[in-house]
Amino acid sequence: MPRYDVAIVGGGIVGLSVGWAITRRHPKARILVLEKEHCWGHHQTGNNSGEIHSGIHYQPGSLKAQLCRDGNQAMVQFCRDYGIPHEVCGKLIVATEQDELHPLERLYERGRLNGIAAMKLRSEEIREIEAHCTGLAALRVPTTAIVSYRRVAETFADLIQKGNGELQLDKEVKRITVLPFGLLIESSSASYESRFLINCAGLQCDRIARLMGIRTGMRIIPIRGQYYLLRGEKQHLVNGLIYPMPNPCYPFLGAHFNRLLSGEVRVGPNAVVAFKREGYRKMEFDIQDSMELLACRAFWIFARQNWREEGREMLCAFSKTLFLRRLQRLIPEIRPTDLVAGQAGVRAQALMDDGRLMDDFLILQGPRSIHICNAPSPAATASIPIGNAVVDCMQEQGFT
C-alpha cells in the first residue's frame, strides 16, 4: 500500500494551497492530494465571484481580517510571479440610504483598524468612477482585485507536482481509520497510508471530520448563490466592482456588480439555504443532505432567528424583479430584461450547534489531523496564508 507523510482531502484552492505550502516548508515530505471530482476547483473554487478581497469588511482581530489582508497581497504577488491574469481594479461600497451613512463611517474605521486604505467619496465623486451608479456616499477600496481562482488552483496543483507531490483526481475518500502509527485512508478505488491528514473538503468537511470520530461542534449548511449576467449592450453600465452596504447580521456581503476579466459583468449572488450541498440548479434536492439538515436542532434555531432575512432572500431567488429592485438602488437604469441567468455557487457555511452561523474561519486539530471546518469567502483570497497557518499547526502537533 502506498505510504505518505501527509494526505490532503479536497482539491479546491485551500487544499492545493496547503499542499504547495508543505512542498515549500517540508520539501522532502511525501504529499498526496485526493480529490473526488475529475478536475481541480470544481466546487466553491470554480463557482465564485473571483474577487481578491481587501479585508475591509471583517471583524478586527479575526482570522478573516488578518488572513484576508495578508492574502490579498500574497495572491496579487502570486499572480504576478506565475503570469496569472488578474486586475487590481478597486471596488466601491455604496450607501444609498440615509441610515447607511453611519454604518459606512464604521466600515471605514473598521478598514483603518484592519490596515486597509480606503477613500471616502461624496455622491458626485461616485459618478467620476462609476458614471451610472447613484449613492449618497461611498468608500473606494483600491486594493480589491479580480482573478480566476480555478486558474490559481490549477497553478498550485502544478507546483505541488513539481515538488514531487502526488495528485489524484476521481478519488472520493470514504473511510478513515486511525491506526497506532498513522492513518488508513480508503477511497472508492484505492487505499493509502499516511502519517497525517488535512481535511480541506469544503462542503463535505464536517463529514470527513466525522469519519475520524471528531466532534467539531458544527455542521455545514449549504447556502446557494445565483448569479445573473448583464446583457452585452448594458455592460458599459459597470466599470469595476460595485457593492451595497452589507447586512451586519449576515456573514455575506450582499448582491453586487462584478466586472470579470473577460469583460462580462456579473450580478449577484443571493444567499438562500439549499437542500443539496453540491446542487447548482434552483430547487435541487438531496434526501441525505435535506434529512441531515432538517433533523438538526441548530438548523431550527437558525431558521427561527433568521426567517425574515431568509424569506426575503428566497423571494428574490424566485422573482427577478424583486432581486433587481435592490440593485436598482445602486444603478437605477437597470431593467429586468437586462439580466440573463448565469451560473450559481454553493457556499460551505459552518452552522454551530447553538444555531449561530460561524463568522470566522474555523481550523480544528484532531489526532494526526487538521480540519478546515469553516472556509467561506474570503478563503480563496486568504488561501496562501491559510496554507502557511496550517503548516504552522502541523509543526505544533510535532510534524517534522
Ligand X SMILES: Cc1cc2nc3c(=O)[nH]c(=O)nc-3n(C[C@H](O)[C@H](O)[C@H](O)COP(=O)(O)OP(=O)(O)OC[C@H]3O[C@@H](n4cnc5c(N)ncnc54)[C@H](O)[C@@H]3O)c2cc1C
Q: Which residues bind ligand X (CB under 6 A)?
A: 9-15, 34-37, 41-45, 47-51, 53, 172-173, 200-204, 208, 225, 269, 345-347, 375-381
Using the minimum distance from each CB to ligand X, give the nearer residue, 137 or 185. Answer: 185
Contact 196, 393 (CB under 8 A): no
Alpha helices in the chain, H assignment, sequence order: 13-25, 63-81, 101-113, 123-129, 149-162, 205-211, 287-294, 297-318, 320-328, 383-396
Using the minimum distance from each CB to ligand X, give the nearer residue, 368 or 371. Answer: 371
Q: How far is the CB of 160 from ligand X (least distance, A)?
A: 14
Which residue do the cell numbers 488552483 mark?
A: 153
Q: How far is the CB of 346 from ligand X (least distance, A)?
A: 6
Q: How far is the CB of 294 from ligand X (least distance, A)?
A: 22
Q: Indicate the length of the chain as a whole number.
A: 400
Q: How far is the CB of 256 from ligand X (least distance, A)?
A: 10
Contact 262, 355 (CB under 8 A): no
Q: Label residue 172 exposed, middle or buried (CB < 10 Å: 0-12, 13-18, 19+).
A: middle
Q: How far is the CB of 30 from ligand X (least distance, A)?
A: 18
Using the minimum distance from each CB to ligand X, give the nearer residue, 137 or 327. Answer: 327
Q: How far is the CB of 330 from ligand X (least distance, A)?
A: 18
The vertex-119 CA angle with 105 and 123, nearest 5°, equals 75
Cα 84 to Cα 148, 261, 262, 264, distances in angstroms: 8, 11, 14, 18
What the block records as the C-alpha cell of 206 is: 464536517
Using the minimum distance from each CB to ligand X, give the nearer residue, 130 or 278. Answer: 278
Residues 6+ apart with CB under 8 A from 253: 57, 243, 246, 377
Q: How far is the CB of 390 from ligand X (least distance, A)?
A: 11
Q: How far is the CB of 102 from ligand X (least distance, A)?
A: 26
Max Cα-Cα span within the chain: 67
Q: Which residue is nearest to ligand X (CB)?
A: 12
Using the minimum distance from each CB to ligand X, give the nearer residue, 137 or 370. Answer: 370
DSSP per residue, 35-103: -SSSSTT-SGGGSS--EE--STTSPTTSHHHHHHHHHHHHHHHHHHHTT--EE---EEEEE-SGGGHHH
Q: How far apart are CA 345 and CA 347, in angstroms?
A: 7
Using the minimum distance from each CB to ligand X, give the nearer residue, 23 or 47. Answer: 47
Using the minimum distance from each CB to ligand X, give the nearer residue, 64 or 110. Answer: 64
Which residue do the cell numbers 468608500 mark?
A: 139
Using the minimum distance from each CB to ligand X, give the nearer residue, 147 or 334. Answer: 147
